[in-house]
Amino acid sequence: MISLKIIPLDGAPREEQFRSEQIRIGRSPENDLTIHDQSVSRVHAGIEHKGGTFVIADLGSRNGVVVNGVRIQSPTKIGPDDEIRLGDVTLRLVTPGPDVTLAEPFSARWIRPCSPMRRRES
C-alpha cells in the first residue's frame, strides 16, 4: 500500500491511499493520482513499493522530480522524512503506524462493578 500527503502551493493538504504497490502521478486523469496543477506534467512520476522499500522515478516530466532539494536523475529510494517536489506541489510519504496487538486477551475479571450514583440534595 502507498499513502501520500499532497501539499499544493495554494490549497489545503490532503492524504491519498492506494492499495496498489505501484502508482503513476500526473495531471492527466488516467494517472492513479491526478494533481490539478499546471506545474505538474501529464505523466510526471511513478512510485513503487517493493520489499519494504519505496522508490520514485521521473517519467519524463518537464519540471523533474526533486527529492530533498536535489533533482533526481534515476529511480531514488524515498521515506517518510523525504520532501518530494513535483513542480509546485510537495508530496510526503505517509507510513502507517504500528499495528496494536494486546499482549493478553481481555479478561472480565479485571472489571469491578460501579457503585450506584447518588443524587445530591440541594
**Which residues, other chains included, contact 37 with Cβ-Cβ below 8 Å and sequence gap of 6+?**
8, 9, 27, 87, 88, 89
Residues 89, 83 contacting (CB under 8 angstroms): no
pLDDT at residue 61 in the model: 96
Whether 119 shows a pLDDT value over 90: the answer reads no
CA–CA–CA angle 79, 85, 90 (5° rounding): 85
What are 63-107's pLDDT values in tens digits? Answer: 999 999 999 999 999 999 999 999 999 999 997 655 444 444 444
In tens, the pLDDT along 2-19 reads 999 999 988 899 999 999
Closest CA to 89 of 25, 21, 22: 25
Percentage of residues of the chain with pLDDT beyond 70 = 78
